């Protein structure tokens, strides 16, 4: 199973590298496949490579769903330990 996540571009380092915010963690990512990338853009990230741009609203929806899944998993883990 592969997982690609939306991340926000925080800064551009060079033509092929950017600094992204991944759930509050800053990480250098490869952006060589993306044209016309700007700070603030959201991209789909898979194994360190930005695959394409994504609409900010769509990124927010996806990130909210991931947060809901995380909360549900934490609740389930707490309930299982009782």
Residue-wise pLDDT for 9-44, tens only, equals 999 999 999 999 998 999 999 999 999 999 999 999
C-alpha 38/C-alpha 2 separation (Å) is 26
Q: How many CB atoms lie within 10 A of CB 38?
A: 10
| pLDDT(1) > 60 | no
CATH number for the domain formed by residue range(s) 5-81 = 2.30.30.140
Helix (H) or strand (E) holding 52: strand 49-54
> Domains of the chain: which residue ranges?
5-81
From 39, 35, 42, select the one nearest 12 (Cα to Cα). Answer: 39
Rg, the chain, Cα only:
15
What's the confidence (pLDDT) of residue 70? 85
For the question of whether the overall pTM of this predicted structure is more than 0.75, the answer is yes
Q: What is the pLDDT of residues 57-73, one digit of tens each?
A: 999 999 899 889 888 88
């Amino acid at each position: 199973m592969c997982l690609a996540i939306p991340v926000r571009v925080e800064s551009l380092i060079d033509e092929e590298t950017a600094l992204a915010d991944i759930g509050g963690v800053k990480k250098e990512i490869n952006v060589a496949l993306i044209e016309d990338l700007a700070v603030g853009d959201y991209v789909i990230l898979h194994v360190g490579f930005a695959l394409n741009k994504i609409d900010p609203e769509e990124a927010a929806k996806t990130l909210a769903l991931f947060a809901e899944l995380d909360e549900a998993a934490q609740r389930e883990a707490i309930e299982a330990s009782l």
